[in-house]
Amino acid sequence: MSFKVALVHVSSNKDFFPPIGLLSIGSYLIEEGIIIKKDIVIFDTAHDNFFYFLKKFKPSIVGISCATGTFDKATKLGWLVKQKIKGAKIFLGGVHISSLPHLFDQPFDIGVIGEGEETFLNLYKQLVLSQGKLNFKKLAKIPGIVYRDFKGKLCFTQKASLIKLLDKIPLIDWSLIPSFYVFKNKIVKIDNDFKLLKSGFLLTSRGCPYRCVFCARSVLWPKYRFFSAERIVSEVENLYKKYKVRHIFIVDDTFNVSLKRLEEVVKLLDKKMLLGKVYFKVFARADLITEKACQLFRKLGVVEVILGFESGSEKILRYLKANTVTVADNKRAVKLLGKYNLGIYGCFMFGSPGETKEDMLKTLAFMRSLTKNKNTTKLVCGTTRPYPMTPLWDLAIKKKIITIEKIRWKDFLIGVNDEEEKYLFFKDKISQKEYDKIWKIARRLCYAVSAKTKKIKGWKKIWRLQKLVTVISRFVNYNNRKFFVRQ
């Protein structure tokens, strides 16, 4: 009996961000030798015709991964799979079900809690042995899952252990998803010049050693672990040589936690003669931005650093970051990054608990100063959201700002549009009407940076080239029939 696996990432919008978690699970299953490559495909709902191809593939298992904001969309997809792909077992994974497993219900058959590789492997083996049927006695022995038995009773198994040595996980097989939806040609500013580079993604650690009150990352990965320098360089070399990638977005929550590891990566890339051939974009923490960190960033080829400045108010920043970062740290980081001509991508939050109009004006002032900084490449802002199992969630439940019975999961969406993005949860110090005015100014400041970039010489020429390449790629790759519909 052939067991095909389809892994589906539920996107919040059309801006495709490759599902590294699902790619890792797929690569792990293949490496373990329990499934052959032609029997596993990864889909993303950002692909216009994904469900047509999903049906054509005829999977036995459909694994759906979603965040809190896309849970409603994932549920609709689950019901559609139930109706259109008869006999397929539906697994639900990701941060949302890991945060709120007690809400698990139909149309899903099994919920995967936490890290997915080992758990999915065990589930696949069990279904193969049971010839596609759910054997509840055997399921009870698989750690890290939630399900409802034949009586409808909610059942939890024991907590799954985290993978201790991340290097055990094989290199990501990026060919599990069409290259057009993984690697995009993007405009990259390198010093004072613009280039159009093929861009890819990389995750070099799991979790975060810090505990910001708004972050739900620790639900999936409660312990901070990182891949070795040797493994990182192997991934970079693979992306560079096999996929011709010249720009890599390292999506770790904080890339500069270990300067020792960063130093080793620089040395190994130098030995491989890859320094200067690949450029990087990274997330970092302001309090960890030092002279040495900036020097290593320059050697590595980092051209843009994303920093969660969050707020210009000392009171609000200390609350959000659990007293680990100050406004002075943020300002010092801006100066240091400017000294080494590193691009600054600043992120801000508005509408936190106890945040007054005066606090928000301080944030606007900080944002305004960044619009005048020649190294600022982008500014983004969002409304503070109480994601499940965070301290903000506990506060929102306690104050009855949200109730499980009446909750609207779409209110947790980010990056969709201004109307949904500015939805205010915490209204104890400011009204929605007043907040709308603040939000409008903040968005205007974000747009100001983009407008300033577009005026720089050479940008328009590269932008036109990017559009042309995108149109040609879409024409060549439209539908991707040969990839998705495997015989």
Report d(CA 84, CA 77) in Å as an integer: 10
Asked if 160 and 113 touch (Cβ cutoff 8 Å), the reply is: yes
The pairs formed by 433-442 with CB atoms below 8 angstroms and a separation of 24 or more are 434/357, 435/350, 435/351, 438/350, 438/357, 438/360, 438/361, 438/364, 439/350, 439/381, 439/383, 441/364, 442/348, 442/350, 442/363, 442/364, 442/367, 442/381
pLDDT confidence bin for 418, thresholds 50/70/90: low
- CATH for 183-471 is 3.80.30.20
Question: What average pLDDT does the segment 161-165 reach?
Answer: 92
Structure letter (DSSP) for residue 202: E
Q: Give the list of residues 6+ apart from residue 21 with CB closer than 8 angstroms, or none.
A: 65, 93, 94, 116
Report d(CA 187, CA 479) in Å as an integer: 25
Q: Which two tokens stand for residue 1?
A: 């009996």
Report d(CA 447, CA 97) in Å as an integer: 35
pLDDT score, position 227 = 96
Q: Give the list of residues 6+ apart from residue 102 with CB closer than 8 angstroms, or none.
A: 146, 154
Question: What average pLDDT does the segment 96-120 reach?
Answer: 95
Report pLDDT digits (tens) over 435-485. Answer: 999 999 999 999 999 888 888 888 888 888 888 887 777 676 655 566 666
Residue 209, preceding bond cis, omega within 30 degrees? Answer: no
**Dihedral of the CA atoms 20, 22, 23, 29 (nearest 10)?**
150
Question: What average pLDDT does the segment 195-224 reach?
Answer: 92
Q: Give the list of residues 6+ apart from residue 421 with CB closer than 8 angstroms, or none.
A: 382, 383, 413, 414, 415
* Position 175 pLDDT exceeds 80: yes
Question: Taking all residues of the chain, what is their mean pLDDT, rounded to a whole number?
Answer: 91
- For residue 103, CA distances in Å to 100, 218, 326, 331, 396 come to 6, 19, 37, 43, 18
Report d(CA 19, CA 186) in Å as an integer: 19
Report d(CA 335, CA 339) in Å as an integer: 6
Report d(CA 159, CA 220) in Å as an integer: 12
Least Cα distance to 253 among 334, 324, 331, 307 occurs for: 307
* Sequence spans of domains, the chain: 5-165, 183-471
Q: Which two tokens stand for residue 138?
A: 């055997």
Fold adopted by 5-165:
Rossmann fold (3.40.50)
**What is the distance, to the nearest Å, from the Cα of residue 251 to the centroid of all Cα atoms in its chain?**
7
The sheet carrying 279-284 orders its strands as 184-190, 193-202, 247-250, 279-284, 302-310, 343-350, 376-383
- DSSP output for 175-189: GGS-GGGT-EEEEEE
pTM to 2 decimal places = 0.93
- DSSP output for 272-341: TT-BTTBEEEEEE-GGG--HHHHHHHHHHTEEEEEEEEE-S-HHHHHHHTTTS--HHHHHHHHHHHHHTT
- Does residue 276 come out as left (phi exceeding 0), alpha (psi in the -120 to 50 range) or beta? left
Residue 457 DSSP SS3: coil
Report d(CA 116, CA 143) in Å as an integer: 11
Report pLDDT digits (tens) over 213-269. Answer: 999 888 888 899 999 999 999 999 999 999 999 999 999 999 999 999 999 999 999
Q: Which two tokens stand for residue 383?
A: 């409304």
Least Cα distance to 64 among 52, 49, 82 occurs for: 82
Report pLDDT digits (tens) over 363-407. Answer: 999 999 999 999 999 999 999 999 999 999 999 999 999 998 889
The CB density around residue 341, as the number of other CB atoms within 10 Å, is: 14
pLDDT score, position 210 = 92
Q: Which two tokens stand for residue 347?
A: 């992120």
Report d(CA 179, CA 198) in Å as an integer: 11
